[in-house]
Amino acid sequence: MTNDQPPRPSRRGFLKAGGAAVAAGASLGAGLATSQAALAKAPAHSAQNADPQLAVEPFYGPHQGGIVTPQQSHTYVAALDLTTDKRDDVIALLRTWTEAAARLTQGGTAFAMPSGDGGDAGNNQPAPDSGDVLGLGPNGLTITFGFGPGLFTKDGKDRYGLASRRPAALVDLPRFNGDQLVKEKTGGDLYIQACANDAQVAFHAVRQLTRRAYGVATMRWGQAGFLSGPRGQTPRNLMGFKDGTNNPSTAKPELMNQFVWARATDDAPWMEGGTYTVVRRIRITLEHWDNTELGFQEQVFGRHKYSGAPIGSKNEFDAVDLKAEDKDGNPVIPENSHVRLSNQASNNGAQILRRSYSYNEGTNFYIERWPPWRQETEYDAGLIFIAHQSDPRTGFIPINDRLAKFDMMNQFTTPIGSAIFVVPPGAKPGSYVGAGLFEA
């Protein structure tokens, strides 16, 4: 074996030093020794950083990351079911997750690593970090934790003494028209959403966190996603249309306070700065869509495909004029188009912050739900719809109820998975995500 003791491996050190791994290690003890206080003060480079590998997002703060953070190019989202009946186990897990997430987002390993290669004591136990993202850099990683209804009550049982603290806004989602939900891709007691500018960095974070849940919680579902957009432009989803044009602007705090951030309420005084997150796995029959006339696709969306402009307008960010009529007196933007049905003017002013990703999980045999009812091997691909909002009862639920009934797009989409979570505010250094719920 080697005679020297290389310093501890770390993500940032490998990156800075470039090709020479040994030299890199030498500079990097520092990255791992970073204190939590230092992490809290780390400069918040934007995800628009010139080098997306080097982007760093803050972990501690009034809000969790990954909600109004400029959207990174990859995600891995997962839900776990709690198997323990001990409240202290849940708190310990959240403390561990918080500590690890603070390290990971700043470019560190999930947990402190023993010194590297060679026959020392660290070799006789599993490494605290799988090592697959060594050298890859922080990549703008954010990690967002949420709680499903099952944390508060499950099968009528108040497992952790939290039943009375369930916020009224954390409702169970109703069944929506067209739902073909698969139980194994639906629900969950705990939510982890990792977003990063690299697929492996996002997956790595969830994988290292869920490892620490053994004996306390088990994996319920996991899901990788990606988002490809030309820099500075609204990205296109797999249907080829720009997705997110009409989001409330994250640059306007008053809109975020109105539509995204929850306030402290009598039933959830700990929720100031939190949010509610809905995650839906929506398969799209891309084979069917691709063979649909361009003009019909535009009617479905209510937007022009290439410019992203509302039908009848020229530019993407032109206001959606729902009152415009053609020469026969029919609406220019169809009544059952996606953009009209989801517009705030059709929903009593309600808005939600969509932060969705595409997914692409190979192929399966499907029987299409709409004509031409083909039966064939098709893509298992579509949208991981993710929406954040201050209250789902006035946000996603009424908006989606209308869409599920009337949206022409439903001919091409099938909701397969669904979940709702309460996302607590960000943690303070030394504390943990969800402390307000458990400690108050």
Give the torsion through C-alpha atoms of 170, 171, 177, 182, to 10 deg. 70
Bridge partners (DSSP) of residue 142 are 195
306 binds a second copy (CB under 8 A): yes
Sign of the dihedral through C-alpha 341, 347, 351, 355: negative
Based on CB atoms, which residue is closest to a second copy, 172 or 184?
Answer: 184
Per CB under 8 A, 26 contacts a second copy: no
354 is in an annotated binding site: yes
Q: How far is the CB of 223 from a second copy (least distance, A)?
A: 5
Q: Is 63 annotated as a binding residue?
A: no
**What's the CA gap between 331 and 433, in Å, rounded?**
48
Q: Of 4-12, 32-40, 63-71, 92-100, which part binds a second copy (CB under 8 A)?
A: 4-12
The count of chain residues that interact with a second copy, using the rule CB under 8 A, is 99
Residue 393: strand, helix, or coil: coil
Kindly state the smallest distance separating residue 127's Cβ from a second copy, in Å.
Answer: 5
Measured in degrees and rounded to the nearest 5, phi and psi for residue 155 equal 50, 40
Which part of the chain contacts a second copy (CB under 8 A), choosing from 1-9, 156-164, 265-273, 418-426? Answer: 1-9
- 225-264 residues in contact with a second copy (CB under 8 A) are 226, 228-233, 236-241
Report the alpha-carbon distance of residue 296 to residue 304 in Å, rounded: 10
Binding-site member from 307, 325, 335, 370 for a second copy (CB under 8 A): 307
Among 5, 46, 48, 123, binds a second copy (CB under 8 A): 123
In the complex with a second copy, the residue whose CB is nearer, 244 or 312, is: 312
DSSP, res 428: P
Say if CB 271 and CB 263 are below 8 A apart: yes
Note whether 205 binds a second copy by CB under 8 A.
Answer: no
Q: Which is closer to a second copy, CB of 1 or CB of 440?
A: 1
Residue by residue, DSSP assigns 170-237 as -PPPPPPTT----GGGS--SEEEEEEESSHHHHHHHHHHHHHTTTTTEEEEEEEEEE----TTSPPB-
Long-range contacts of 120-127 (CB under 8 A, 24+ apart): 120/5
In sequence order, which residues have a C-beta less than 8 Å from that of residue 141 and are 6 or more positions away?
Answer: 57, 72, 104, 105, 107, 194, 195, 196, 201, 202, 205
How far is 440 from 55, CA to CA, in rounded Å?
35
Q: Is 19 a residue that touches a second copy (CB under 8 A)?
A: yes
Which tokens belong to 297?
Answer: 């696709």
118 binds a second copy (CB under 8 A): yes
131 part of the interface to a second copy, by CB under 8 A: yes
Q: Which is closer to a second copy, CB of 272 or CB of 298? A: 298
The residue among 136 and 404 lying less far from a second copy, judged by its C-beta, is 136
Residue from 172, 254, 314, 348 that binds a second copy (CB under 8 A)? 314
Span 378-397, contacts to a second copy by CB under 8 A: 378-379, 381
How close are the terminal C-alpha atoms of the chain, in Å?
Answer: 53
Helices 87-105, 199-211: axis angle to 10 degrees equals 150
Give the x-and-dash track for 166-185 against a second copy (CB under 8 A).
Answer: ------------------xx
Q: Is 83 in the site for a second copy (CB under 8 A)?
A: no
User: Of all helices (H) and strands (E), which one includes residue 299?
Assistant: helix 294-301
The only residue of 272, 316, 321, 401 in contact with a second copy, by rule CB under 8 A: 316
The residue among 134 and 399 lying less far from a second copy, judged by its C-beta, is 134
Q: Which of 387, 377, 307 has its CA nearest to residue 347?
A: 387
| Shortest distance (Å) from residue 292 CB to a second copy | 6
Q: Is 93 in the site for a second copy (CB under 8 A)?
A: no
Of residues 338 through 377, those in contact with a second copy by CB under 8 A are: 358-365, 376-377
Q: Segment 264-293, which members bind a second copy (CB under 8 A)?
A: 286-287, 289-293
Q: Report the binding-site residues for protoporphyrin IX.
A: 303
| Annotated binding residues | 303, 338, 354
